[in-house]
Structure 1
Amino acid sequence: MAKIQRALLSVTDKTGLAGFARGLAAFGCELISTGGTARLLREAGLAVRDVSEVTGFPEILDGRVKTIHPVIAAGILARRSVPGHRAALAEHGIATIDMVVVNLYAFEKAAAREDASIEELIENIDIGGPTLIRAAAKNFQDVAVVTSPDDYDSVLEEMQSSGGSLSLRTHWSLARKAFARTAEYDAAITARLASIEVEETGLVDRPSELPAALHLLLPRRQQLRYGENPHQKAALYARGAEGVANAAQLHGKELSFNNLVDLD
């Protein structure tokens, strides 16, 4: 895989970002950023180009429009192996973007607050972030997409061992995480907005103890020996770090569905 030469960073959760960006810069990677993320990186002593400098277009509408621009989209989506794509980039003077580091507005955190207003919920719906994430994940063969601070260390370690690149396996793993994250994010928005209705006075929020909609996205933890009956297939799906799904099996053959039901 090609060396990562240019990264776009725009995050809400800034945990560990300065150290990660410093690691990227050590490989000669150009850093492009926006708003508070760019400010944090500059305060950490890093050289950063503003997205507005790259696009030639300023942030507008109180920050609602920052990264939504053809220059950014093309830099991410262009397939390096397609001559026509390379020619289009050259014609319009667009540089490729090799890594996208984005995490999303904290909608889930706002939705969990009982006093959150409808306006606050709406303003916490990220638009540019999911667009960048999905574009990078779609073009995973050429672009690495990093959506969680939990991946910063492993990404830098691999880059250090490979001279500044990431394997196709890592690109694909990060892309799958990215699509899972945007699906989870949209599910959270759908579930929370389901309690908002239009009445004569306007929008009215009527949250209840039980959600009006429930969307589950559960990663598969393990394949099970069989389902409730021997001819049935089964697997264990779960989230979180507690409960039976996180127990360590010390002895015996592969678990079945019935084993887990007996444990619960």
Structure 2
Amino acid sequence: MSINVVEKIDDLVKVKSVLVSVSDKSGLDKFIPRLVEINPEIKILSTGGTYGKIKEILGKAADTCLTQVSDYTGQPETQGGLVKTLDFKIYLGLLTETYNDSHQSDIERTQAVPIDMVVVNLYPFKETISKSDVTVEQARGNIDIGGPCMIRASAKNFLRVAPVVDPSDYEMIISEIKANNGMTSLDLRFRLAQKAFDHTAVYDRAIADFLKQQAFSDVSGCYKK
């Protein structure tokens, strides 16, 4: 297998397109309007409850900048939100490299959009399993799939994409973007990538530890009628 080696990147990348899908919606009421203020032409992709929250926050301004992921991909969310963001156009937008001609050709062919920032945090698995009466099935239902995939893809491509996983970083990120005329720096993207991979590592460790502690009889008993 040949490995793509990147030899040219941009230090500063303008935040034109943002994908937002969060379990913890704290801080969005300040973060999203300030992103729009910095770049009034910004495009925001979002899903489910996050889309509804951003629409509420932005009011009429949402009409020009906010799009549901399902409308962008042409694939409706599955029942219960089981599949929302696992789509070729999403991951092409996350992983594409600016100076890769093949990637740019794929972008043009699919009419995808390069995504410059991903704002994602995960289903509350730790909070769920901390309950004394939690069942294996309840825990299983709170294992996030699309979220970690988006975080990993954006963090891998920190050369161009800013992965944002912690609401406490919103103020710092806005400050740096504003100082750079609406752009993220490579230094910021790299720092966010470090935090993003740590975020998914801790999440996966919690899942693995929980499952390891369960007796198979308890697991199988959840599904027997």
TM-score, with structure 1 as normaliser:
0.75
Equivalent residue number for residue 193 of structure 1: 211
Is 1:33 equivalent to 2:51 in the alignment? no
Partner Cα distance (1:90, 1:76) in 2: 15
Deviations along 1:212-241, whole A, 9 cap, x unmatched? xxxxxxxxxxxxxxxxxxxxxxxxxxxxxx
* 8 Å Cα contact 1:196-1:203 kept in structure 2: no
**How far off is 1:200 after superposition?**
9.2
Q: Which has the higher helix share?
A: 2
Aligned ranges 1:102-117 → 2 under 5 Å:
102-117=120-135
Partner Cα distance (2:32, 2:14) in 1: 16
Partner Cα distance (1:90, 1:146) in 2: 26
Is 1:12 equivalent to 2:23 in the alignment? yes
What one-letter code is carried by the residue in structure 1 that aligns with 2:191?
A: S
Structure 1: runs of 5+ lacking an equivalent: 205-264
Partner Cα distance (1:201, 1:10) in 2: 30
What one-letter code is carried by the residue in structure 2 that aligns with 1:90?
A: E
* 8 Å Cα contact 1:16-1:149 kept in structure 2: yes
Structural RMSD (CA) = 1.4
**How far off is 1:201 after superposition?**
8.3
Deviations along 1:137-185, whole A, 9 cap, x unmatched? 0000110010000110011011111110111110000000000000000
TM-score, with structure 2 as normaliser:
0.87
1:202–1:165: structure 2 CA closer, same or farther, 3 Å change rule? same
Q: Please tell me whether Structure 1 or Structure 2 has the larger radius of gyration of its CA atoms.
A: 1
Equivalent residue number for residue 74 of structure 2: 56
What one-letter code is carried by the residue in structure 1 that aligns with 2:165?
A: T
Structure with more relative contact order (C-alpha pairs < 8 Å, separation 6 or more): 2
**How far off is 1:8 after superposition?**
0.3
What one-letter code is carried by the residue in structure 1 that aligns with 2:88?
A: P
1:110–1:84: structure 2 CA closer, same or farther, 3 Å change rule? same
1:84–1:191: structure 2 CA closer, same or farther, 3 Å change rule? same
Runs of 4+ that moved beyond 3 A: none
**How far off is 1:61 after superposition?**
3.2
Is 1:126 equivalent to 2:144 in the alignment? yes
* 8 Å Cα contact 2:136-2:219 kept in structure 1: no
Structure 2: runs of 5+ lacking an equivalent: 1-11
* 8 Å Cα contact 1:4-1:165 kept in structure 2: yes
What one-letter code is carried by the residue in structure 1 that aligns with 2:181?
A: G
- Local SS of the residue matching 1:102: strand
Partner Cα distance (1:69, 1:197) in 2: 35
Deviations along 1:92-146, whole A, 9 cap, x unmatched? 1111110000000000001111111111100111000000000000000110010
State the percentage of identical aligned residues: 39
Aligned ranges 1:175-254 → 2 under 5 Å:
175-199=193-217, 202-203=220-221
Equivalent residue number for residue 89 of structure 1: 107
